[in-house]
């Protein structure tokens, strides 16, 4: 039997409590103790002011605290608790967003590890550039399209463009008004998701794409394509609000969208030189497996912001469950991928284990807020099998250097559909979206809603991305020339290598300036300039 005891500190008129003393509300200490341990006193609590010096210090302390705390926090006990709740929600949302932002490093390392040495500088330059241009585009219009209120709300949002923020300010964001964190925290959290989606696009297209394409595609993607899908499943659009499709943190919104855009780009781009010869698929090994697996672990870490942060709420404590579910799925995926690749090839492939973990994390993203731990392990394990079989099957036809299509596309589809199987009815009610899955309710309703969400998102993103990439290909071109591709994108696009010393005459040397101007024979001609080098090897 426990009892809560509340201590109100009182400022005395003159070293003692009186009926007219101004009560400093809000500074309360909540104790839980055995009832019998409470002091039996005629006064409710012992008077802390029996000693004049103590009273003076306490008085000064409370005045100092009152001067520092915001006035609203002291209005009364209830609003103080609310303010603490808002504070913890906001801290959690912003910290989780920082975790998700760090996933950019994960994508960079994953792509660097799976690239050849001559193409790594361009990857990191691309990641930083993409993060930056998507920030600007998402701030300008993307967030408004995704979450703003508007007249065609079922289709797309339409307010909150070029948003401005002040401390604690809110915007009219109908679907995420349930979260008490301020609009700026929500903006930041939703933006880093957009940046992750854009980062996923390029995993399929590395080692042969022109750098300018990253910018030309990245801006409209962050401004419109991603927000369109984000509005449908996060922002209160038709799929989420009317159909009840569940996507807790974005298996479809973030991962399938990114992978679908990458798929469209890949179809127009074609494979790397040397990938397919005489009808056979050649291996083009990446240069650094430790970096690739560091990328996997950074992504795994970032996912603890990605899924648990999608509660946009710390005070209901749901985020802790989501973190556990996320981790269990990743573990199940890595183990399942290891077993699958060993069963097929009799090797414990280093890259595939990481792919399995990523695919499982992608798959658990949609159901993470809706399922129980045992289901998370099943979902993750199935994703681990899907990614291994998917990589082996797709590699015969599509040159996808990092395996983004199986890991983000196929696993994203599986994860979204898995809500229709494993969602716990009580959690569907808790989150206020859709209903329980097939295994709990015996009804195919939720599975149908999930399938419609997947199909609608895939078709929309594919059509828009294909059109955009097609226009880019017709105007500036998607691909570097064969000569530039063979020389490496670092030197041909950026004029420097990712590992400069290893390509220079003597590692550690000093390089004097040339006495006479010399030119780089591998630097592409300026656009509209003289014809490219002739007879480039292909």
39 interacts with another protein by CB under 8 A: no
Nearer to another protein, 61 or 504 (CB): 504
Q: Is 536 in the site for another protein (CB under 8 A)?
A: yes
What's the min distance (Å) between Cβ of 399 and another protein?
17
Number of residues that bind another protein (CB under 8 A): 22
CB 188 within 8 A of CB 97: yes
- Range in contact with another protein (rule: CB under 8 A) among 132-140, 206-214, 259-267, 511-519: 511-519
Binding of another protein by 530 (CB under 8 A):
no
CB of 366 to another protein, least distance (A): 43
Instruction: Specify which residues 6 forms β-bridges with.
Output: 30
- Whether 488 and 279 have beta carbons less than 8 Å apart is answered as no
Q: Contact with another protein (CB under 8 A): which of 20, 432, 528, 535?
A: 535
Stretch of 9-17, 66-74, 310-318, 515-523 contacting another protein, by CB under 8 A:
515-523
Assess contact for 254 and 364: CB atoms under 8 A. Answer: no
Contact residue for another protein among 519, 527, 530, 531 (CB under 8 A): 519
512 touching another protein, by CB under 8 A? yes
520 binds another protein (CB under 8 A): yes
Residue span binding another protein (CB under 8 A) among the ranges 52-60, 124-132, 188-196, 500-508: 500-508
517 forms part of the interface with another protein (CB under 8 A): yes
Among 163-171, 350-358, 385-393, 494-502, the segment contacting another protein (CB under 8 A): 494-502
Residue located via tokens 């300008």: 140
DSSP assignment of 185-217: HHHHHHHHHHHHHHHHHGGGTTTTB-HHHHHHH
- CB neighbour list of residue 53: distance below 8 Å, 6 or more residues apart: none
Supply the angle between the helices 318-345 and 350-365 in degrees, to the nearest 10. 140
The verdict on 500 binding another protein (CB under 8 A) reads yes
Our finding on whether 4 is near another protein (CB under 8 A) is no
Applying CB under 8 A, among 505, 508, 526, 528 the residue interacting with another protein is 505
Q: Say if residues 112 and 196 touch (Cβ distance below 8 Å).
A: no
Distance CA 306, CA 314 (A): 14
337 contacts 359 by C-beta, under 8 angstroms: yes
- Is residue 533 a contact point for another protein (CB under 8 A)? yes
Contact stretch for another protein (CB under 8 A) within 85-93, 330-338, 403-411, 519-527: 519-527
Cα-flanking dihedrals φ and ψ of residue 497, to 5°?
Answer: -90, 160
Of the residues 283, 513, 528, 529, which one makes contact with another protein according to CB under 8 A: 513
Report the alpha-carbon distance of residue 524 to residue 531 in Å, rounded: 10
Place of tokens 């920082």: 98
Q: Is 496 in the site for another protein (CB under 8 A)?
A: yes
Stretch that binds another protein, among 49-57, 263-271, 354-362, 491-499 (CB under 8 A): 491-499
* Inter-residue contact 137 to 150 (CB < 8 Å): no
Structural contact between residues 154 and 456, judged by C-beta atoms closer than 8 angstroms = no
Tell whether residue 514 is a contact of another protein (CB under 8 A). yes
Please choose, out of 80-88, 195-203, 423-431, 502-510, the segment that lies near another protein by the rule CB under 8 A: 502-510
Going by C-alpha positions, the residue among 402, 518, 506, 483 that lies closest to residue 118 is: 483
Specify whether the CB–CB gap between 383 and 261 falls below 8 A. no
Task: Calculate the alpha carbon distances from 139 to 94, 188, 230 in Å.
Answer: 16, 9, 15
Q: Is 167 in the site for another protein (CB under 8 A)?
A: no
Our CB check for another protein shows the closer of 35 and 534 to be: 534
Interaction between residue 43 and another protein (CB under 8 A)? no
Cα separation, 509 vs 501, in Å, equals 8
- Give the residue with the Cβ less far from another protein, 27 or 486: 486
**Which residue stretch of 37-45, 139-147, 427-435, 501-509 sits at the interface with another protein (rule: CB under 8 A)?**
501-509
What is the distance between the alpha carbons of residues 183 and 144, in angstroms, rounded to a whole number?
Answer: 12
Note whether 529 binds another protein by CB under 8 A.
Answer: no
| H or E element, residue 411 | helix 411-422
Element of type H or E holding 31: strand 30-34
116 or 255, CB closer to another protein? 116
- The site for another protein (CB under 8 A) is made up of 486, 491, 495-496, 500, 503-505, 511-514, 517-521, 533-537
């Amino acid at each position: 039997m426990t009892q809560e005891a509340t201590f109100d500190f009182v400022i005395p008129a003159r070293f003692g409590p009186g009926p007219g003393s101004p009560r400093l509300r809000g500074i309360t200490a909540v104790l839980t103790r055995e009832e019998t341990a409470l002091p039996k006193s005629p006064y409710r609590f012992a008077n802390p002011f029996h000693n004049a010096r103590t009273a003076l210090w306490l008085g000064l302390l409370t005045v100092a605290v009152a001067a520092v705390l915001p006035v609203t926090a002291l209005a009364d006990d209830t609003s103080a608790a609310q303010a603490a709740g808002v504070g913890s929600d906001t801290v959690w949302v912003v910290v989780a967003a920082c975790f998700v932002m760090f996933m950019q490093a994960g994508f960079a390392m994953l792509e660097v590890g799976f690239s050849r040495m001559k193409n790594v500088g361009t990857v990191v330059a691309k990641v930083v550039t993409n993060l930056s241009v998507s920030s600007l585009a998402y701030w300008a219009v993307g967030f408004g399209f995704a979450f703003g209120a508007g007249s065609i709300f079922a289709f797309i949002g339409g307010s909150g463009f070029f948003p401005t923020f002040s401390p604690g300010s809110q915007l009219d964001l109908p679907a995420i008004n349930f979260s008490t964190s301020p609009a700026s925290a929500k903006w930041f959290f939703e933006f880093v998701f957009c940046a992750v989606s854009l980062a996923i696009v390029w995993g399929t297209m590395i080692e042969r794409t022109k750098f300018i394409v990253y910018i030309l595609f990245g801006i409209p993607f962050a401004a419109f394509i991603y927000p369109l899908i984000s509005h449908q499943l996060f922002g209160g659009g038709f799929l989420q609000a009317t159909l009840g499709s569940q996507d807790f943190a974005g298996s479809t919104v973030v991962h399938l969208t990114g992978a679908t855009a990458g798929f469209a780009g890949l179809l127009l781009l074609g494979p790397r030189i040397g990938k397919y010869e005489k009808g056979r698929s050649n291996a083009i090994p990446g240069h650094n497996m430790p970096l690739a697996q560091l990328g996997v672990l950074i992504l795994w870490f970032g996912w603890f912001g990605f899924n648990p942060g999608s509660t946009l709420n710390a005070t209901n404590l749901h985020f802790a469950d989501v973190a556990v579910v996320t981790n269990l799925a990743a573990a199940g995926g890595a183990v399942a991928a290891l077993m699958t690749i060993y069963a097929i090839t009799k090797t414990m492939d280093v890259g595939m284990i990481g792919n399995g973990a990523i695919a499982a994390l992608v798959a658990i993203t949609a159901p993470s807020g809706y399922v129980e731990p045992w289901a998370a392990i099943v979902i993750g394990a199935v994703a681990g099998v899907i990614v291994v079989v998917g990589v082996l099957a797709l590699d015969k036809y599509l040159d996808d250097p990092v395996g983004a299509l199986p890991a983000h596309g196929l696993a994203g589809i599986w994860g979204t559909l898995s809500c229709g199987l494993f969602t716990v009815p009580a959690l569907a009610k808790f989150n206020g979206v859709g209903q329980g899955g097939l295994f709990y309710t015996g009804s195919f309703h939720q599975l149908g809603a999930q399938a419609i969400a997947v199909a609608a998102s895939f078709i929309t993103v594919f059509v828009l991305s294909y059109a955009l990439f097609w226009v880019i290909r017709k105007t500036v071109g998607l691909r570097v020339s064969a000569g530039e591709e063979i020389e490496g994108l670092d030197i041909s696009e950026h004029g420097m290598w990712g590992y400069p010393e290893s390509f220079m005459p003597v590692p550690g040397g000093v390089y004097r300036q040339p006495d006479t101007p010399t030119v780089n024979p591998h630097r592409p001609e300026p656009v509209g300039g003289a014809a490219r080098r002739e007879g480039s090897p292909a």
